[in-house]
Amino acid sequence: MPFVDVPGGYLYYEQHGAGPDVVLLNGGLADTRMWSSTVAWLADVARVTVWDCRDRGLSSVSLSEYDELADLAAVLDVAGVSQATLLGVSDGARQALAFAHRHPSRVARVCAVAGSFGEFPSPTAAEAAARVVMRAHFAQQAKILETGDIPAAAANDITAWCPAVDLDAHRFLVGLAIANSRIMLMPEDNARELDPPIKHRFAELAVPVSILVGEHDFQGTQLWAHRLASEAPNATRTILPNADHMPMFSAPEAFRTFLLDALAGTSPAPSPATP
C-alpha cells in the first residue's frame, strides 16, 4: 500500500488510470472511498490520485498542528505529479484553492465543488442569515455528540448536508462519517493552511477556477460559491438544480459533465450573477 511519510505522521494515497493528472480532495468527514464511483469512470481519461488527510481514512492521526498544504505537496511529489487539476469537495475545495494560491505552477485548474469556508468576512445580510442556519445545525450536532451517539450524529449531519441523495448513497455517506468520526470529536482541526486563509484571498488566485454548487445545499454554501465566483479573477460557476453538497451522488451525470468539461478546458456559460 502506498504511504507518504510527512513530519509527525504518514499519508495514504492511491493512483489509478493514465492521462492528465487529476487529484481528488475529500470532504471533511469522508475518505478516499467517497471517490470510488468517480474513479471508476475518471480513470479512463486521466491519471487520478486520491489521498487521505491526517485524521481521516488510512492516514495517521494528528497530535498537533501541521501544514496541510505541505502534506498535499508531499503526496504529489511521491506520486510523481508535477501539475494537476485539483478537484476538491466541501473542505477539500478550500484546501485545493489554498494550495493553488501557494503553488500556482503546480495547478492547472481548481474544480471547487460545494466549497466550505466557515464564517464570512464582512458578511452581507443574506450571508449572515445563512450562517445563523448553519450554526443552528452545528449546535444540534454538538448536542447529539454530547450523548456519545456517533451513528446518530453522522446520520443527522448527512441528512442536513445531502438531502437529495438516494437511500444507498445516504447509508454510504453515514458510514464514512462514522468511520471518520475522530474529526467530529476533535475540539479543533489541527490542519493549517494560509495565513490569512484563502477565504480572504480569492482575488489573488492565478489559476482558473470551475465552481459547482447544488441548489439543495445549505444557502451558506451557495453564497460562498457566489462570493468565490465574484472575487476570483478567472472563475465560472455552475448551479445544479437537483444536487446537494455531494453532487457526485445526488446528480452523478451532471457532475460528470461538469468535470469532463473542466478537464477539456471548455467552460459552460456562467450561471447568473445573483446569489
* 236 neighbors 270 (Cβ within 8 angstroms): yes
* Terminal C-alpha separation, the chain: 44
Per-residue pLDDT, 104: 98
Using the predicted structure, report yes or no on whether residue 273 has a pLDDT greater than 70: no
Using a 10 angstrom Cβ sphere, with 0-12 exposed, 13-18 middle and 19 or more buried, the burial of residue 40 is exposed
Tell me how far apart the alpha carbons of residues 234 and 218 are, in angstroms, rounded to a whole number: 25
For 55: left if phi > 0, alpha if psi spans -120 to 50, otherwise beta; the answer is left
C-alpha grid cell for residue 185? 470529536
Q: Residue 89's pLDDT is what? A: 98
Domains of the chain as residue ranges with CATH: 3-123+188-264 (3.40.50.1820)
How confident is the prediction for the chain on average, in pLDDT? 96
Helix residue ranges per DSSP H, 43-196:
68-79, 91-102, 125-146, 150-161, 167-179, 182-185
pLDDT of residue 86: 98
3-state secondary structure of 211: strand
Is beta strand 47-51 parallel, antiparallel or unpaired with respect to 9-16?
A: antiparallel
Q: Model confidence at 132, in pLDDT bands (50, 70, 90)?
A: very high
- Nearest Cα residue to 251 out of 203, 210, 208, 216: 216
Calculate Rg over the CA atoms of the chain.
Answer: 17
| Residue 272 confidence (pLDDT) above 80 | no
Q: How is residue 137 written as a grid cell? A: 445545525
pLDDT of 75-111, one tens digit each?
A: 999 999 999 999 999 999 999 999 999 999 999 999 9
DSSP states of 220-249 as a string? HHHHHHHHHHHHSTTEEEEEETT--S-HHH
Q: What pLDDT is stored for residue 114 in this prediction?
A: 98
Quick check: 266 pLDDT over 60? no
**Cα(230)–Cα(235) distance, integer angstroms:** 8
Residues 6+ apart with CB under 8 A from 138: none
Cα gap 249→215, rounded to integer Å: 14
pLDDT level of residue 275 (50, 70, 90 thresholds): low
Cβ–Cβ < 8 Å for 275, 223? yes
Identify the band that residue 265 occupies on the pLDDT scale cut at 50, 70 and 90: confident
